[in-house]
Each structure stands twice: as C-alpha cells, then as structure tokens.
Amino acid sequence: MGIVQGASFPDLREKSAKDMTALGFPGLQLAELLFGEPHEEMMKAVEASIPFLPENSPKHLLGVGTPYDIVQAVARGCDTFDCVIPTREARHGRLYISKKYEVKSKKNVGEGLQPSQKKDG
C-alpha cells in the first residue's frame, strides 16, 4: 500500500495522494500528522487527501483507534485503521462503552467475561 503524507498542508496532501495513486498501489494509507494534534487538524488532513484517492481503493488511516476518531474518519471515507489504543486500553483494564470508558480492576477483568452492565448517564 502507498502512504499519503503531507502533514497539515493541504497542497502537499493533494500532491502526495495524486502521486501515490499514479503509482498504482492496490490500496492507500493516510499517514496521520505527528500524533497529538487536535482532532480537527487530523480530520482536515483526511479531508485534504480523500478527494484525490480512487473511490474503489481501500483507504487505511494510520494511528487512529478511539471510537470517536474511527466514526469520524469513516464518515470522511476511511475504511480501515490501526492503533495501539485498543490493546493499551484493554491491558489497563479499560472498556469502551458509548462515549465513555469503564475502568475494570485487573482483579476481575477475566471473571465472567460478561458485557458491562454500567449505563451512560
């Protein structure tokens, strides 16, 4: 897969997207910025790249793993993702539920393996 880069510069993202598309990769990956930028900046980078990628080509967004970021990226045309966040959260006993996460103690993480009963609110 080709990697589209360009940081937060729309013109560089457009050029990179066009160049990677011209090389004929079967799919393209969108390199995020540098990590730690605000969500809005990340989505602007996605928006600056997607219009210049083939519609029928898989679009993989690198380094994105929170549920909110994934939903927002899918709405903008991304298909797949990879990130350490799900593994790290599980290792620390965290479970995503809706817009919040529940902290489970490591002592009872493996007990029962039942869905969380905690409600948002």
- Position 121 scores a pLDDT of 46
- pLDDT (0 to 100) of residue 103: 56
Left, alpha or beta for 25 (phi > 0: left; psi -120 to 50: alpha)?
beta
pLDDT given for residue 102 in this prediction = 55
Handedness of CA 74, 88, 28, 34 (dihedral sign): positive
What pLDDT score was predicted for residue 53? 95
Chunked mean pLDDT (size 10), the chain, 121 residues? 90 95 93 75 92 94 86 93 86 72 54 52 46
